[in-house]
Amino acid sequence: MSDSVTGEHDLLELMREAGDLPGHVALIMDGNGRWAGERGLPRWMGHREGMKSVRRCVEASLEAGLKHLTLYAFSRENWDRPAEEVEALMSLLVEYVERESEDLLLNGVKVRAFGDLDRLTDKARQSVQVLEATTAPGDKLQLNLAISYGSRDEILRAVRRLAEQVSRGEIMPADVDAARFEQQLYTAGWPDPDLLIRTSGELRVSNFLLWQIAYAELYVTPVLWPDFGRRELFEAILEYQRRERRFGRVSA
């Protein structure tokens, strides 16, 4: 049966039968601008449509039984976009919180935001903080939103913190190992992504979770983010389930 004739329900069944779900899926949501451009619309309308894909993906992740979903909502580099686009993205974040808080709470989704949040507008930062506090009891799915995030910056921040611990004599240089380093990342305590999905066909990781994706399976789809939904997520998971993960070792 080809995917084009396989219904979404069948995809869910196939996924459940295959077992071994990715516990953690990370997503680079790309292509909002092109989606809008193709329709002669302003870029912010692509982002607005992209917000609907976020909702669909959260719902589908709950349905599939994922434990962590990490979305690249806004990179440090995105601050260099035209002011009106940055403002639109900040407003969308506030709108997302207003629209989705209740359903996220009801569905057991715990939201965590990470990145250089000090750079957000006060309103956006407060919205995100309230969302984190409101959804803290969620125990079905953890939705991690990377906002004002850059992986190199995260790594440098961790290195600086370890260097400070060494200079205070709390640890020796030889004590710096992977576990200590990971404790200083925004993602401390979270499992590494098993699957990294990028939409819109670009073959790049764009400064996203560089340490954490060391052994993630990569999946790139030409679908633009506003067109990405339940079916596309399930197809990516099925592809992941067909892969053999060796973590640098040989096959069993």
Question: Where along the sequence are the contacts to ligand FPP (CB under 6 A)?
Answer: 29-34, 47, 50-51, 54, 71, 73, 78, 89, 92-93, 96, 145, 200, 225
Which of residues 89 and 162 has its CB atom nearest to ligand FPP in the complex? 89
**Residue 181 buriedness (CB in 10 A; 0-12 / 13-18 / 19+):** middle
Going from the C-alpha of 215 to that of each of 127, 147, 157, 178, 190, the distances in angstroms are 33, 23, 22, 14, 15
Separation of alpha carbons 251 and 78, rounded Å: 41
Which one is catalytic: 3, 10, 20, 30? 30
Q: Minimum Å distance from CB 251 to ligand FPP? A: 37
Contact 113, 80 (CB under 8 A): no
User: What is the biggest distance separating any 2 CA atoms in the chain, rounded to whole angstroms?
Assistant: 63
Q: Minimum Å distance from CB 207 to ligand FPP? A: 12
Which of residues 61 and 158 has its CB atom nearest to ligand FPP in the complex? 61
Q: Minimum Å distance from CB 204 to ligand FPP? A: 11
Q: 92: which residues sit within 8 A by CB, 6+ positions away?
A: 44, 47, 48, 51
The sign of the torsion formed by the CA atoms of 7, 8, 13, 14 equals positive
The sign of the torsion formed by the CA atoms of 2, 21, 199, 35 equals positive
Contact 243, 21 (CB under 8 A): no
Identity (one letter) of the amino acid at 141? Answer: L
20 carries an active-site annotation: no
Which of residues 113 and 162 has its CB atom nearest to ligand FPP in the complex? 113
Give the single-character DSSP code of 203: -
Q: Minimum Å distance from CB 192 to ligand FPP? A: 21
Separation of alpha carbons 252 and 237, rounded Å: 22
Which of residues 144 and 187 has its CB atom nearest to ligand FPP in the complex? 144
Q: Minimum Å distance from CB 129 to ligand FPP? A: 15
The CB density around residue 143, as the number of other CB atoms within 10 Å, is 24
Which one is catalytic: 3, 10, 78, 107? 78
Residue sitting closest to ligand FPP (CB): 33
Which of residues 41 and 210 has its CB atom nearest to ligand FPP in the complex? 41
78 carries an active-site annotation: yes
Which residues are known to be catalytic?
30, 78
